[in-house]
Amino acid sequence: MPTEIEIRCPANGQLVGSVPITPPDAVRAIVERARVAQVAWAAKPVAERAEFLRKVRARLLARQDDVVDCLARQNGKPRTEGLIHEVMEHLELLTYFADEGERILEPRPISAHLLLHRQSYIHYRPRGVLGVVAPWNFPFTIPFGAVAMGLLAGNAVVVKPSEFTPLVADLGRQIYLEAGLDPELLHVIHGYGDVGAALIDGGVDMVEFTGSVATGRKVAAMCGERLIPCVTELGGKAPALVLKDAHVERTAQAVTWGGLANAGQVCASIERLLVDDAIYDTFVPVLVKKVQALRLGDAMGTAEFDVGPLVNERQRDIVERLVNDAVAKGATVAVGGKRVEGPGFFFEPTVLLNCTSEMDILTKETFGPVIPVMRIAGEDAMIAEANRSSLGLLAYVFTRRSEHGRKLAERIRAGTVMVNDVLASHAMAETPWAGVKNSGIGCVHSPEGLQHMCEARHVNYDIVPWLSRELWWFPYQQKNQKLFKRSLGGLFGRGVDRIKRLVA
């Protein structure tokens, strides 16, 4: 059995590092060590834990080039994407939760509705140890968003990164330790699916998983058997609706970036472009021209480029198979359409025209640099097509009428719908990142996401402590029953009937 995983750059095949495989039978002991350390961490005030996030922010600022370089080597990402998509986004998340965490986690009063002599409040306490099973497409910002929020909530965290992109997880942990974190509060374990399963089975109190629908079902089932909460983000098939009054230049630019950033390996990528028949002939040539201008490249080189490689050969094979299926069923390749021969797992930035709903490219998640285009007549038909997918993470609407765009957005079954923008909501730490349908359960980011990392505990207390007993306690008395009947009419009756029952 192998004892380590070798990591090769997907752009050129060069060996860039290795990590030791964590034996699955060692995971439970790691979780228990984290649990022991978590007790003292949870006892610290939220304000102190928030101040720690500010220290992490300072260390990340100082080491941003190291993170970007690591992402370039192990993912093949353009350095601009590593900087903006991952480093900047995490800096923003650290800032938001450091500033707002104390407010979000303060006790929440509940107004009494019936028993006015008593009051209630919700207070938030950490769950214990958070297990994070992370993907390869954003291997820094996704897991360490959960790390930052989990630590702020008072939890310890154990991260299992993808076996394709583990190096940046080790670097991220190092940055957190440099900021002063107890090493036992944050662990990174490495390996394949058996190590991820061992983490879920290792006594963690909550799981955050990002990945495929098929694996997400298994994660949710394992968590259900153990009665621990889980959050699953399982990908999307995001539609973009280009209405007849859309701004052609801005929309074409947005669609190009929204479909092809990170080589299309984004769960929020535009994977279905629905263009109104009235603007189709004007819009599509502009889009095609912009995609034709994109440059493929290797982040380890010196030349500037826009689109990097896919993460591995398997992912490139999936993209190629979906494109070939579409062409066989009548799609037209306007630009791109094939793999790039030579070192690295490159696939040409692609636009497919004349796509129909019978093609796999419009039903299965592509996760590659392909924009399939459908010509559709009318908004109702666009909405119907947008909602046809079994996935519902993100969707986009482009129109010059912002209010109208919002009304259409409310008709789309997706966790987030952006009007006249793409992808950027993941960088807004204050907003929930969540899917509907098969795109997952629960949410990350947002105040709700932070609160869900805690146990929400209810306290109910008396504000009239001198009562000797409650009327509904033993012993039951007939006079109290009559009083209750009159009270029910007064409390829940309406109009004249209410008065009659009160005086009966």
Same domain, 159 and 279: no
Instruction: State yes or no: pLDDT of 272 exceeds 80.
Output: yes
pLDDT for 269 equals: 98
Please give the average per-residue pLDDT across 243-256, as a whole number: 98
Cα gap 369→270, rounded to integer Å? 10
Residue 468: count other Cβ atoms within 10 Å of its Cβ: 5
Instruction: State yes or no: pLDDT of 85 exceeds 80.
Output: yes
Same domain, 71 and 209: yes
**Structural domain contains residue 167:** yes
The verdict on whether 267 is a catalytic residue reads yes
pLDDT category, 501, cuts 50, 70, 90? low
Q: Are 72 and 34 in contact (CB under 8 A)?
A: no
Residue 8: count other Cβ atoms within 10 Å of its Cβ: 16
> In sequence order, which residues have a C-beta less than 8 Å from that of residue 207 and are 6 or more positions away?
130, 131, 132, 133, 199, 200, 219, 223, 228, 229, 230, 231
pLDDT for 371 equals: 98
Residue 451: count other Cβ atoms within 10 Å of its Cβ: 17
CB under 8 A, 24+ apart: contacts of 101-106: 101/46, 101/49, 101/50, 101/53, 101/152, 101/450, 102/46, 102/47, 102/50, 104/447, 104/450, 104/451, 105/46, 105/152, 105/153, 105/450, 105/451, 105/454
Answer positive or negative: Cα dihedral of 325, 327, 329, 332. Answer: positive
pLDDT for 488 equals: 85
**Structural domain contains residue 8:** no
Same domain, 401 and 343: yes
Cα gap 257→245, rounded to integer Å? 20
List, for residues 143-174, the tens digit of each pLDDT value. 999 999 999 999 999 999 999 999 999 999 99
**Helices 213-226 & 193-200, crossing angle to 10 degrees?**
30
Instruction: State yes or no: pLDDT of 46 exceeds 70.
Output: yes
Same domain, 195 and 107: yes
Active-site choice (9, 70, 230, 267): 267
How many domains are there within the chain?
Answer: 3
Q: Are 221 and 379 in contact (CB under 8 A)?
A: no
List, for residues 88-115, the tens digit of each pLDDT value. 999 999 999 999 999 999 999 999 989 9
Same domain, 219 and 276: no
Higher model confidence: residue 224 or residue 479? 224
Domain span holding position 102: 26-234+446-456
The verdict on whether 233 is a catalytic residue reads yes
List, for residues 380-429, the tens digit of each pLDDT value. 999 999 999 999 999 999 999 999 999 999 999 999 999 999 999 999 99
Same domain, 56 and 156: yes
Same domain, 218 and 283: no
Same domain, 278 and 137: no
Place of tokens 């007064």: 490
Same domain, 243 and 217: no
To the nearest whole number, what is the mean pLDDT of the chain? 96
pLDDT for 402 equals: 95
Active-site choice (89, 233, 365, 379): 233
Please give the average per-residue pLDDT across 208-223, as a whole number: 97
HEC string of 217-264 equals HHHHHHHHHHCCCEEEECCCCEEEEECCCCCHHHHHHHHHHHHHHHHH
Q: What angle do CA 354, 360, 362 make, to 5 degrees?
A: 60
Same domain, 295 and 398: yes
pLDDT for 504 equals: 67
Instruction: State yes or no: pLDDT of 30 exceeds 80.
Output: yes
**Structural domain contains residue 470:** no
CATH number at residue 225: 3.40.605.10
CATH number at residue 366: 3.40.309.10
**Structural domain contains residue 326:** yes
Place of tokens 């900087």: 83
Instruction: State yes or no: pLDDT of 52 exceeds 90.
Output: yes
**Structural domain contains residue 342:** yes
**Structural domain contains residue 440:** no
**Structural domain contains residue 4:** no
pLDDT category, 299, cuts 50, 70, 90? confident
Same domain, 301 and 228: no
Instruction: State yes or no: pLDDT of 433 exceeds 90.
Output: yes
Instruction: State yes or no: pLDDT of 480 exceeds 90.
Output: no
Same domain, 323 and 389: yes
Cα gap 257→269, rounded to integer Å? 9
pLDDT for 502 equals: 64
Q: How far apart, in Å, are the Cα atoms of 408 and each of 92, 250, 392, 402?
A: 30, 19, 15, 10
Please give the average per-residue pLDDT across 62-84, as a whole number: 97
**Structural domain contains residue 452:** yes
pLDDT for 489 equals: 82
- Looking at the chain, the whole-number percentage of residues with pLDDT higher than 90 is 90
> In sequence order, which residues have a C-beta less than 8 Å from that of residue 4 and are 6 or more positions away?
18, 19, 20, 21
pLDDT for 149 equals: 98
